[in-house]
Amino acid sequence: MPHRSALRPLPAYGLSRRSIIAGAAAVASCGVLRGSSAQAAEEQNDTVRITLPTPGSAGSVWRPAIAKLGSHATEGLNIDWIGGDPGQMQVQLAAGALDVGVFGAVGLANLVNRGSDIVLFGPALNNHGRWIVRADSPYRKPADLIGKRIATQPETTETYQQARIAASLNDIDLKRDVEVIFGPPTQNLALFGRGDVEGVIVLEPTATRLVGGGAREIARVGDMWRDATGESGDPFLVGLAARRSWLETNRKLATRIAHLFAIANGSLRRDPQLFSEFHSDIGLRDDEKSAIALLPNRLTDVYPSRWDESVWKIIERQIDVALKIGVIGQRPSRPLYDAIRLENV
């Protein structure tokens, strides 16, 4: 395994609802908001402010992937990439300092229940949570970790919430059966490296970095979902998201953005060697050759190109299970997604 100081783990997808609301108020008080959505759209023309995930996260490949498509793919479109980790992104989106971000179904359901107007409108990332143990570990499957200690991102993150949903469908209650230590990725990796926990649940490309360094993967959250539900589709993790007020004012532009991300994700699926080409963009150093060589086979299914009934069905199923196990308190009063229709990509 590489020395833990060399690891740059994927930030968690999620932030407490209180932090989002407080952060949004702070951004607004600083004068970041530009007035009504209609006024902003008129001033920006076809400029759109889109989240740019930090290196070390799966979404950081979007900018080079879109650039690789060529200028014709973005002709007449000015993308203003706004950097930040997932927590910052959620604050920026809620505050109106960002037009397009990413959100997961469970986290968004909780926000919608509190009055948020954020809505999903396009493809972003499939679930890429991985259960990782050390190479010499005796554990071969998640059930082997019942009664043991593992580490993962905080309870409010989509990483943990979706892992809990998938585990529950496989008769594992992460709140009851496993001792889970919650913390930021760097802390979790330090605990793992010292042997203080038996395993970690992490996202890509951190999981590939660990495997490339000698750790062993015993399960994928997506596989656990499929095995339990019998559904062939990849489980949803996060989708493109915007405030409904912005979406309704900029529907044509939003549709184009959703289509652009679908094309970019489709290009990654068709040519997985692009992950190796873009390794530095997603946070891997040139000398991490073992991990770089693993990227094409490990990341392809992370990037969806569909936004249709098959995806929305999975989102609804995730909400059903989240309700059943108490991850959310009530079903949102409106759909979490907008049925923007995309061309085949």
- The side-by-side arrangement of strands in the sheet containing 130-133 is 179-182, 149-152, 199-202, 130-133, 216-220
Chain mean pLDDT for the chain? 87
DSSP strands (E only) in 62-198: 78-83, 101-103, 118-126, 130-133, 149-152, 179-182
Residues 6+ apart with CB under 8 A from 270: none
DSSP for 243-272, please give it: EHHHHHHSHHHHHHHHHHHHHHHHHHHH-T
At residue 36, the pLDDT reads 44
Yes or no: say if 241 and 121 are a contact pair by the CB < 8 Å rule.
Answer: yes
136/119 Cα distance (integer angstroms): 44
Query: Residue 101: which of 185, 186, 20, 26 has the closest Cα?
Result: 20
Q: Where are the domains of the chain?
A: 17-126+237-325, 128-229
DSSP for 35-53, please give it: S-HHHHHHHHTTEEEEEEP
Is 128-229 a domain of CATH 3.30.70.580? Answer: no
User: For residue 125, what are the β-bridge partners?
Assistant: 238
- Using the predicted structure, report yes or no on whether residue 231 has a pLDDT greater than 90: no
**Higher per-residue pLDDT: 318 or 87:** 318
What mean pLDDT do residues 175-190 have?
93
At residue 137, the pLDDT reads 97
What mean pLDDT do residues 108-120 have?
94
What mean pLDDT do residues 285-308 have?
96
- The side-by-side arrangement of strands in the sheet containing 236-243 is 101-103, 236-243, 118-126
- Which residue in this structure is represented by tokens 């407080």? 22
Instruction: Please give the CATH topology (third level) of the domain spanning 17-126+237-325.
Output: D-Maltodextrin-Binding Protein; domain 2 (3.40.190)
pTM above 0.75, yes or no: yes
At residue 4, the pLDDT reads 36
Yes or no: say if 222 and 128 are a contact pair by the CB < 8 Å rule.
Answer: yes
Do 17-126+237-325 and 128-229 have matching folds? yes
Q: Name the DSSP class of 148.
A: S
Q: Is 124 helix (H, G, I), strand (E, B) or coil?
A: strand
Percent of the chain residues past pLDDT 70, beyond the cut: 86
Which residue type occupies 335?
P
What mean pLDDT do residues 223-236 have?
89
At residue 3, the pLDDT reads 38
Q: Are strands 236-243 and 199-202 parallel, antiparallel or unpaired?
A: unpaired
Considering only CA atoms, give the Rg of the chain.
Answer: 19
